[in-house]
Amino acid sequence: MSTTSGRQPQDLQSNAEDQPSIEFSIDELDSGIQVYRSSGVPEIYQAQQTLYQFLLEIVKQWPPEEVLLEFKRLFFYQIEQIEVTSSGAVHAVHQLVLQNDEIEFRNALKRCCYILVNNWDAARQYKAIQDLVLAFQDFAIETQTISPSLKQLKSWIENFRNSKDYDELKLFIARYEESQPQKEKWISRYTSYLLVPQYVNFKNPIEQREAARALSRQLKDRFKFDLAMYIAKSQSATSPEKLPRNPTILGDNVLMLIKAIVAKRGQFSYANLANIFINQIQTLTYGEFKPSLQKYLIFSVEQHSNFAIALQSRLAERLDSLYLDYNSVPLNDALILRTCNRLIETLTTENRKDPSLLFVTLLSQGNPMTLVIVLLKLVLICNASRSHLEAQIAVLIRYYEQFPEQDCNWVVNFLEIFNVVFAIHAENVQYNLVKMQQEQEATPQAKTSLDHYRIFSQMKPIIRPKPPIQPDPS
């Protein structure tokens, strides 16, 4: 096993006949999700490939305005008098409609959209992406038509416009939308997490997964940059009206939050504790690992508080029941990955629909920081679990989006703290506390008051191994 924090899963190899193995992919999609595949019908496959190739060619050669117009001609207008260059693509759309398979048509339409999104994003043609997404809203469904195939096409476009697939596409312009309904406005602050289910879902076309991963990373990088700029300027003599925008809704409390987090350095820093823990479990069996993991997770939590008792009890109950057949097996990375993912589910949502009982219990008792730190500790010993964690966070956001922000402030507060903590501990910006010179230190408390410290940030090198776009065939 590796001896560094943020371990990556390794292939399982068994040298003993009686030692079973656990199959997994890096995103550990053990929820029945299948790899995105095209239909086995030759006509459908050929029509899809014709469309993809046509759009790939023109998006690299034509101005975005002309590409978008061609896209509308193919799927919205279906004008008969089309230039020769697109006649094959027009025929391909007709062929897809004639096959009467709405699922395969939807797959093709999605992939066509993300081919354009991916290429325009790489070329920084963000306005073109916005125009593409909004084109579906501007498209008027004309029910008066004598053509059955055209009526079918328009019906399928309307179904797509009212589907989850289109909601996912709209996430790519959420950062440009200024006039969203209030209900959507608060969840738009967490678009980087809402994109995660798209790129960990192997049913989605590769272009969609790549685009979602890229945009999620861009939004996280923007948050890190805005946070660092706000912290730097807010501690200077800059007038309030000249301060950069605070990327959180925590107000000035974000400064004290970061100071409290960064102050936990040295021997008892979360990263150092994770490294120590990883070194200590190298020779353990899985059965020995589980109680050690529980102790690691609740270390430094106030032991006799109600929330600590609830946390410890539920973690012990969940760990005791996990993978009992493997208790005598030497610990390996696959078991660590699966165990961390199961605990993440216990702490967030166990059915990927509703918040877990432990999540509600911890937050209702006013302990968002405790929950965030436990989640951080899991990711620090198993970095491969981070995508799973963020996908779970997306499920929680979707659950609570039905409520106005003022009715779920406790959840929003958790999300804000989660954002800040993971920006500090799991990213490539390093924050440090520096004590400022004081003319007098009248009391001993003054020596340790965080008010006498300033936060400084700097970039640090980080290597992000790119998860495979396709699942591990093994």
Q: 16: how many CB neighbours lie within 10 A of its CB?
A: 8
pLDDT of residue 102: 96
pLDDT of residue 240: 62
Global confidence as pTM? 0.81
pLDDT of residue 121: 93
The CA distance from 264 to 89, in Å, is 60
Question: Which residues are within 8 A (CB) of 427 and not within 5 positions of it... i.e. 6 or more apart?
Answer: 220, 224, 462
pLDDT of residue 28: 40
For tokens 């508080």, the residue is 305
How large is the angle between the packed helices 333-347 and 286-298, nearest 10 degrees?
40
pLDDT in tens, the chain (474 residues): 554 444 443 434 333 334 333 333 334 433 333 334 455 688 999 999 999 999 999 999 999 999 999 999 999 886 544 444 567 899 999 999 999 999 999 999 999 999 999 999 999 999 999 999 999 998 776 556 677 888 899 999 999 999 999 999 999 997 765 444 444 578 999 999 999 999 999 999 999 999 999 999 999 999 988 888 888 777 665 566 677 888 999 988 888 888 777 766 666 788 899 999 999 999 999 999 999 999 999 987 766 677 788 899 999 999 999 999 999 999 999 999 999 999 999 999 999 999 999 999 999 888 899 999 999 999 999 999 999 999 999 999 999 998 988 899 999 999 999 999 998 886 566 666 565 555 444 444 444 555 555 665 566 654 454 554 444 443
The CA distance from 12 to 449, in Å, is 49
Find residue 147's DSSP bridge partners. Answer: none
The CA distance from 359 to 364, in Å, is 8
Give residue 106's identity as a one-letter amino acid code: R
389 in Cβ contact with 348 (< 8 Å): yes
pLDDT of residue 145: 65
pLDDT of residue 307: 78
pLDDT of residue 4: 43
pLDDT of residue 230: 84
